[in-house]
């Protein structure tokens, strides 16, 4: 059974693990086929379903290969953030990771599709669409960068928190809403009518307290776990974006495997998706009740009205137009 390493790992131990993975990468293929020990990384805390799904995938790979492929997994900030993890894969010091899908736009701009507002109708549509497009998207990305996506780690939609009841775009007009520092996010909230305010996430809580910003948007689990409802007492269930994490592997590592091993990776990814999609949905329902218990006002929004404000967004981001049309065609 694979040995999981936590964020308390010493730098000396990390150097040893990195050197070990480099040795594995340099070993002749005939020897690697006997036993492989990979380094994997997720930026999520071990209590988060993203980390749990990543571990599930890795452990299933070990089980399905009868111990031929094992792994050491680093969670939290032990190996840096998601960007560091992708760079590690490209440099060969990490074999697989679980970054947020939108982060991949730094290497392949079509990954902006994963934060295109209201491209997914609901969580069920998002799950079906991710299953339908993920392999084709991965093949397209391989034309630009040697990264392969194996599967989608499910996450729920992003919601808006503030101290204003938000039901329609008119309610958000002029509100300073924190967004990540990416063009599509900023443009989407401009079209909603808000005053998007890009900030690094660690600054969000203090900025809410000091009213530098009026609100923010994140998956409910992120808002709850980071105590943001101490500053914002209203939650609008906008589900304006769905952005899964993804299991990514270096294509050189993938290519070094035989057909049976590759099939095992894909099978483990499918099993992970099937296992965690219902769990994540159930967890969202539980979180809503916990948020209400903190005397937070929770309300639905007019999603059609919000979606109508961004119907032409793809004209400003034409590199995602093909994917927008394809996702919209999925029942």
End-to-end CA gap in the chain = 40
What pLDDT, on the 0 to 100 scale, is given for residue 34?
Answer: 73
The H or E element spanning position 97 is strand 96-97
What pLDDT, on the 0 to 100 scale, is given for residue 47?
Answer: 87
Alpha carbon distance 13, 89 (integer Å)? 19
Each residue's pLDDT tens digit, 148-185: 999 999 999 999 999 999 999 999 999 999 998 889 99
What pLDDT, on the 0 to 100 scale, is given for residue 33?
Answer: 52
Residue closest to 39 by CA, chosen among 89, 91, 80: 89
Residue closest to 226 by CA, chosen among 247, 246, 207: 207
Distances (CA, A) of 45 to 76, 108, 202, 203, 222: 5, 26, 15, 19, 11
Give average pLDDT by consecutive 10-residue segment, the chain, 331 residues. 38 37 44 79 92 98 98 94 96 97 96 96 96 97 98 97 98 96 93 96 95 96 93 97 97 97 98 97 94 96 97 95 96 94
Each residue's pLDDT tens digit, 214-236: 999 999 999 998 999 999 999 99
What pLDDT, on the 0 to 100 scale, is given for residue 8?
Answer: 39
At CA 76, angle to CA 218 and CA 6, rounded to 5? 155
What pLDDT, on the 0 to 100 scale, is given for residue 77?
Answer: 84
Q: What is the dihedral of CA 83, 86, 90, 94, to 10 degrees?
A: 120
Per the rule left: phi > 0, alpha: psi between -120 and 50, beta: everything else, 28 is beta
What pLDDT, on the 0 to 100 scale, is given for residue 17?
Answer: 43
């Amino acid at each position: 059974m694979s040995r999981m390493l936590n964020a308390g790992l010493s730098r000396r131990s990390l150097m040893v693990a990195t050197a070990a993975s480099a040795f594995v990468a340099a070993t002749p293929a005939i020897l690697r086929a006997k036993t492989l020990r990979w380094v994997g990384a997720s930026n999520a805390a071990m209590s988060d379903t993203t980390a749990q799904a990543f571990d599930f995938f890795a452990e299933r790979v070990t089980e399905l290969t009868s111990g031929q492929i094992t792994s050491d997994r680093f969670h939290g900030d032990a190996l840096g953030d998601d960007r560091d993890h992708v760079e590690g894969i490209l440099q060969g010091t990490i074999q697989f990771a679980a970054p947020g899908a939108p982060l991949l736009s730094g290497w392949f701009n079509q990954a902006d599709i994963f934060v295109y507002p209201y491209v997914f109708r609901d969580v069920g549509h998002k799950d079906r669409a991710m299953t339908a497009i993920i392999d084709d998207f991965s093949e397209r990305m391989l034309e630009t960068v040697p990264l392969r996506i194996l599967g989608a780690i499910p996450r729920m939609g992003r919601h808006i928190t503030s101290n204003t009841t938000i039901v329609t775009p008119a309610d958000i007009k002029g509100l300073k809403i924190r967004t990540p520092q990416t063009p599509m996010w900023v443009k989407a909230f401009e079209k909603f009518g808000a005053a998007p305010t890009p900030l690094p996430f660690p600054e969000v809580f203090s900025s809410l307290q000091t009213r530098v910003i009026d609100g923010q948007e994140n998956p409910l689990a992120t808002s709850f776990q980071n105590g943001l409802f101490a500053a914002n007492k209203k939650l609008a269930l906008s589900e304006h974006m769905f952005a899964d994490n993804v299991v990514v592997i270096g294509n050189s590592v993938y290519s070094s495997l035989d057909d049976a091993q590759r099939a095992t990776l894909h099978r483990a990814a499918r099993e992970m998706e099937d296992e965690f999609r219902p769990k994540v949905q159930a967890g969202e329902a539980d979180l809503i009740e916990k948020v209400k218990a903190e005397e937070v006002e929770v309300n639905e929004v007019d999603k059609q009205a919000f979606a109508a404000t961004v119907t032409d967004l793809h004209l400003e981001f034409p590199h995602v137009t093909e994917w927008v049309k394809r996702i919209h065609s999925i029942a």
